[in-house]
Structure 1
Amino acid sequence: MDKEVEPHVLAVIDEMRLKGPRLTPVEIVAKMGVFDARDKPFDHAWLATGDNVIATIWGEFVSVGSGGRWFCIESLDTQHRVGGGPRNAQQVQRAKDRLALLKRTFDAGQGFRAVLQTNRIAIAELESNKDAKVSTRVRDDDEWHVATWEPEKKLAVLVRGPRGWVPTEADLQAAKARGSVPKVAEPAAAVATGHASPEEVHAAAIEYVTKHFTGYGYKAENVIAQNIGFDLEVSNAKGQTLLRVVVKGTAPGVPSFKLSSEESACSVREPLWRLLVVTDAGSGVAQHKIYKPTEISSAPGYDPS
């Protein structure tokens, strides 16, 4: 969203938008030399004519470092969304394709063209909200390049303008706070030691349930960030929604759980709402059971208070 963009960066994007022709997001990419842009409207990087790489730069993630230089941190984690939660198969492939093109420019010591983009919803919901749409997309006439590529840290740094400058450690720490690098919980280790927090147990339960449904060929979309009364929306290969599931987990040290007011309200108004409880979440003996709204009181660990 525009309010998440640095004011100086937003001003430059607005100036580019006003002085350029009125084109759709796909038309902008097509005019930059991507002939199959209309077949790849949801991609985040493209190979254009002349082997030029074009990549989306989300304005919400752009930071301004020393000397006014723009940069952003690129996550090398293809499995997790920046807003948290696992990516689905399409999202994983899209992330892999983008990183492959960026790595190609890094290995060749070349720059890449960028389209600067802002979004109509919070950037953390970019991959989890079905209503996510482009707010503004403009062609950046300044070249970008991959300044650093650090697989061990699962991040790269993308910089706008000439080579030879990299952000300071303080710049990087401030940039990470913008949310471009997913904070991936490692709940299993904490659960195994018996020192897991309720949040870690919940994360372990979500991971378990997601793998369970996807293992049977279903899509399990994580919608926790939307705070709409359930955690996962489960659908079949045809896109038909089958269940809207609240996931709860129990484990040593976290023997009980509660439903939020929104979850309780949703259990009444939503016919597909179900409670799924994972016992021993995060362990090798985790098990689960699904409960209808009328069966909530019989779920192990349920605390009605």
Structure 2
Amino acid sequence: MDKEVDPRVLTVIDEMRLKGPRLTPVEIVAKMGVFDARDKPFEHAWLATGDNVIATIWAEWVNVSASGRWFYLESLDAHHRAGGGERNAQQLQRAKDRLALLKRSYDAGNGFRAVVQTNRIAILEVESNKDAKVSTRVRDDDEWHVASWEPEQKLAVLVRGPRGWAPSEAEVQAARERGNIPQKLSAAAKAADDEKATPEAVQAAALEYVVKHFTGYGYKAENMTGKGFDLEVSNAKGQTLLRVTVKGTAPGVPSFKLGKEESDCSKREPLWRLLVVTDAGTGMAQHKIYKPNEINSAPGYDPS
């Protein structure tokens, strides 16, 4: 909502809005080079022509430093909403897609284009209130960039304008509290978490994650552990789509092996796939599926 936006930011938004033609939120993104914008009206980031990344910046969470520079804290916890609670399957995928595009721009050393928007309801309700709608969306002519990407702190810092500047620790901490960004774990807490990350616990977390992922999209995931794979995934018509062996990795459990039965099944079963969940049991868990001839490229795979 406008009243949650820093007045200095709101003034700039109003100037942007008044100097251009009146466009809908989708038309703004389309004119920035996203040809399928109308098919993706609810996305939070897009890949435009020229391999340019465009991302939504919620004005309610834009912070203005003592020097006048704008910055924005991006939570790397894709599973949880800023307002509390777990994201549903669609929200989770949307958050992962956004983080992947921001990470892509960071790894390439490129900036990204932003659309700055305000909302008609409180910012913490944007993902949980079905009546949530965009109030104002404008194209920002100033380039943004990802100044830092810190998985251990579950945090990335996005900055508007030229590189070479970053907010102070005090400014980041104040922005964390304002934006409901998870705090960094203490060394003791992190060590305790690592101690809990036994291979059994990580595998259980990976299986739970995968079942929730497939069922969230309307598929059935039946437990088949002991038959050379862990899950048989089928659609609503009962057609078997995949037979998946699930493996998880985490900071305390960095690798995994395939059992003989799993290895044999990968050679004889056409639908067999390896699904690796990285950071299993954490809010940053992600997965990737590998065909039998791609197993050696799976992160954490130990062929010995």
Q: Shift in Å at residue 215 of structure 1? A: 9.5
Contact 1:73–1:180 (Cα < 8 Å) also in 2: no
Change (3 A) 1:5 1:215: closer
Distance 1:13 1:171 in 2: 22
Q: Deviations over 1:30-87 (max 9, x none)?
A: 0000000000000000000000000000000000013100001000000000100000
- TM-score, normalised relative to structure 2: 0.61
Change (3 A) 1:215 1:64: closer
5+ unaligned residues in a row in structure 1: which ranges?
A: 190-210, 220-236, 238-305
5+ unaligned residues in a row in structure 2: which ranges?
A: 190-208, 218-235, 237-304
Distance 1:17 1:146 in 2: 25
**Percent sequence identity over aligned pairs:** 78
Q: Amino acid of the residue matched to residue 65 of structure 1? A: S
Aligned position for 2:7: 7
> How is 1:277-292 mapped onto 2 (pairs within 5 angstroms)?
none
Q: Shift in Å at residue 177 of structure 1? A: 2.1
Q: Amino acid of the residue matched to residue 155 of structure 1? A: L
Distance 1:84 1:183 in 2: 14
Q: Amino acid of the residue matched to residue 12 of structure 1? A: V
Contact 1:26–1:38 (Cα < 8 Å) also in 2: yes
Distance 1:106 1:216 in 2: 30
- TM-score, normalised relative to structure 1: 0.60
Distance 1:151 1:9 in 2: 28
Distance 2:6 2:48 in 1: 29
Q: Deviations over 1:81-119 (max 9, x none)?
A: 010000001111000100000001100111000000000
Count of aligned positions: 195
Q: Say yes or no: does 1:135 pair with 2:135.
A: yes
Q: Shift in Å at residue 218 of structure 1? A: 7.7
> How is 1:129-208 mapped onto 2 (pairs within 5 angstroms)?
129-181=129-181
Change (3 A) 1:182 1:23: farther
Q: Amino acid of the residue matched to residue 69 of structure 1? A: R
Change (3 A) 1:6 1:121: same
Distance 2:54 2:16 in 1: 17
Q: Shift in Å at residue 182 of structure 1? A: 5.0
The alignment yields a C-alpha RMSD, in angstroms, of 2.5
Distance 2:16 2:31 in 1: 16
Any idea what SS the aligned residue of 1:131 has?
A: coil
Distance 1:183 1:90 in 2: 25
Q: Amino acid of the residue matched to residue 95 of structure 1? A: A
